[in-house]
C-alpha cells in the first residue's frame, strides 16, 4: 500500500465522565446555597438584629455541613459494604450454582450477538480464573464497579466543605449591613448571582442545557427563600 503524506483525521472521543468529586461538590454547594439562604430570609422578616441572623446562620452552616458530610460518608460506606456483600455472594454461587452462573454469563454474551459456539469458547477460558469470572459478573450482571476504600472519607470532606462555602454566600451580606431587610436585599443579589453561575456550570459539566439548568437551580433557591420569608412574616 503506497505511503500517503496526507495527514489522516484522527477521531477524538469527547465524553465527560462525571467524577465523584464533582458530584460531591454539586450536592454540598446546592444545599449550602439554598438552605442558609432560606433560613436567613425567614429570619429577616421575624427579627430586628443582623447579629441574630448571623449567629443562627453560622449554627445552621456548622450543623448542615456535618449532617451533609456524614450523609456522604455513610453513603460511601454503604456502597462499599454492598459491593463486598455481592462479591462474596458471587464467589459462593460459582461453586454452589456452577451451571446457573455459566448460563448467566452466556446470556450476557448472547445480548451482544455472540453465537452459542463463541459463548462456550469464551466461557471455558473465563472459568479458568474465578477472580476474573466474578469480576465479570459484578460488572456486567450487577453493574457494580469496585468502590474506592477512601471514597467515604473523601465524600464527607468534599460535601461538607462545599456546603460551608455555599452557606457563607447568603450569610455574608448581613456582616456589612445594618438592618435585616437591607441584609436580605444584598443576600438575595449575591445568592441569586451564585445560583445562576453554579447552575450554569453544573449543567454544562453534566451535559445538560446550561441556561435551563441555571434558571432551574436559581428558581429552586428563590422559591425556598420566598416560602421561608412569607411563613415567618405571617406567623412571627
Structure confidence at residue 59 as a pLDDT band (50, 70, 90): very high
Determine the structural domain holding residue 101 and report its residue range. 21-235
For residue 10, being part of any structural domain is answered with no
57 pLDDT above the threshold of 90 = yes
Q: Are 151 and 83 in contact (CB under 8 A)?
A: no
Query: Rounded mean pLDDT of the chain?
Result: 82
The rounded radius of gyration (Å) of the Cα atoms in the chain is 26
pLDDT exceeds 90 at position 160: yes
In a domain, 12, yes or no: no
Residue 32 has pLDDT above 50, yes or no: yes
Asked if residue 54 belongs to a domain, the reply is: yes
pLDDT score at 144? 75
Residue 14 lies in a domain: no
Count of domains forming the chain: 1
Q: Could you identify the residue written with the cell 430570609?
A: 41
In the structure, what pLDDT confidence band is assigned to residue 16 with cuts at 50, 70 and 90?
Answer: very low
* Residue 4 covered by a domain: no
Q: Which residue has the higher pLDDT, 157 or 96?
A: 157
Indicate the Cα dihedral angle 48, 53, 56, 62, nearest 10°: 180
Query: How far is it, in rounded angstroms, from Cα 118 to Cα 189?
Result: 64
Q: Is residue 111 part of a domain?
A: yes
Asked if pLDDT for residue 23 goes beyond 50, the answer is yes
Query: What pLDDT, on the 0 to 100 scale, is given for residue 150?
Result: 82
CB atoms within 10 A of CB 54: 17
With respect to residue 83, please indicate whether it lies within any of the assigned structural domains. yes
Note the pLDDT tens digit of each residue in 195-227: 888 888 877 776 788 888 888 888 888 888 888
Q: How far apart are CA 233 and CA 225, in angstroms?
A: 12
Section 26-35 average pLDDT:
87
pLDDT: is 128 or 76 the higher one? Answer: 76
Q: Is the pLDDT of residue 165 over 60?
A: yes
Would residue 106 count as lying in a domain?
yes
d(CA 134, CA 93): 10
Amino acid at each position: 500500500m503506497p505511503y500517503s503524506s496526507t495527514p489522516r483525521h484522527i477521531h477524538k472521543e469527547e465524553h465527560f465522565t462525571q467524577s465523584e468529586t464533582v458530584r460531591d461538590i454539586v450536592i454540598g454547594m446546592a444545599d449550602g446555597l439554598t438552605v442558609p439562604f432560606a433560613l436567613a430570609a425567614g429570619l429577616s422578616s421575624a427579627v430586628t438584629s443582623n447579629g441574630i441572623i448571623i449567629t443562627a446562620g453560622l449554627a445552621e452552616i456548622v450543623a448542615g455541613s456535618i449532617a451533609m458530610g456524614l450523609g456522604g460518608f455513610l453513603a460511601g460506606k454503604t456502597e462499599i459494604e454492598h459491593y463486598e456483600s455481592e462479591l462474596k455472594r458471587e464467589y459462593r454461587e460459582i461453586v454452589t450454582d456452577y451451571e446457573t452462573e455459566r448460563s448467566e454469563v452466556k446470556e450476557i454474551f448472547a445480548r451482544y450477538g455472540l453465537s452459542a459456539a463463541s459463548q462456550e469458547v469464551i466461557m471455558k477460558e473465563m472459568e479458568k480464573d474465578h477472580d476474573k469470572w466474578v469480576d465479570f459478573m459484578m460488572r456486567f450482571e450487577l453493574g457494580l464497579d469496585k468502590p474506592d476504600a477512601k471514597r467515604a472519607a473523601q465524600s464527607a470532606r468534599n460535601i461538607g466543605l462545599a456546603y460551608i462555602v455555599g452557606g457563607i454566600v447568603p450569610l455574608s451580606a448581613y456582616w456589612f449591613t445594618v438592618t435585616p431587610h437591607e441584609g436580605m436585599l444584598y443576600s438575595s443579589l449575591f445568592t441569586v448571582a451564585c445560583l445562576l453561575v453554579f447552575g450554569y456550570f453544573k449543567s454544562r459539566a453534566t451535559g445538560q442545557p446550561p441556561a435551563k439548568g441555571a434558571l432551574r437551580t436559581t428558581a429552586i433557591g428563590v422559591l425556598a427563600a420566598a416560602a421561608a420569608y412569607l411563613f415567618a412574616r405571617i406567623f412571627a
